[in-house]
Amino acid sequence: MSKRPDMAERITNPLEMHRQHWPESYDAQMLPLGLALAQAYTAQHSRAARVMAANGLSSAEFDVLASLRRTPPPHALTPSDIQRTVLITSGGLTKVLRQLEARGLVTRSMQDADRRVKPVALAAQAMPVLEKTMSELHTVIGDWMRRSLTDAEIRRLASLLTKLVNGDSST
């Protein structure tokens, strides 16, 4: 009687499993690309999430703070403008903004012209946290990528991924 492989052994190669068990949908070019993109995103995201967590920030909080930091001083945007720059629902953004405001990392004020609009500004005490987090992200992600890719490969990959993202305006 032959030993049956355990589940971990059977799922270690999803491409081969797909080819064997779902051959009618197997695309030898697109499936490896899609899987590699997903795995690269997961690897990058997990590294980034660890850095952010070590600095007391969630990914959503960091995204909001980074969106504000990228604007000219006084580093302020309306919630609608922030939502256009981050991947978060308006309800999720409201929750994140409340958390950041409670921690003193952002401030909210009313506009005289429209009292309903409450611009969000980066608070001074957010700057050291944000700068430290960004520096650590550059180091961790940069070191990881440079261990696997040359500078030329990094530039080429960035160019190809940008071309892929910009190539289909229907999404």
pLDDT at 5: 59
Tell me which DSSP letter residue 136 carries. H
Q: What is the pLDDT of residue 94?
A: 93
Question: What pLDDT sits at residue 132?
Answer: 98
Q: Say what the pLDDT of residue 139 is.
A: 98
DSSP H or E run through 126: helix 126-148
Residue 160: its H or E element: helix 151-166
What CATH architecture does domain 53-138 belong to? Orthogonal Bundle (1.10)
Domain boundaries defined on the chain: 53-138
Q: Kindly report the backbone phi and psi dihedral angles of residue 31, in degrees, each rounded to the nearest multiple of 5, phi listed first.
A: -65, -45
**Closest C-alpha to 79, from 67, 93, 65, 98:** 93
pLDDT tens per residue, range 107-141: 998 656 555 678 999 999 999 999 999 999 999 99
- Spans in the chain with pLDDT lower than 50: none
Q: What is the pLDDT of residue 117?
A: 73
Element holding 108 (H helix, E strand): strand 106-108
Residue at token pair 């520096």 = 135
Prediction pTM value = 0.80
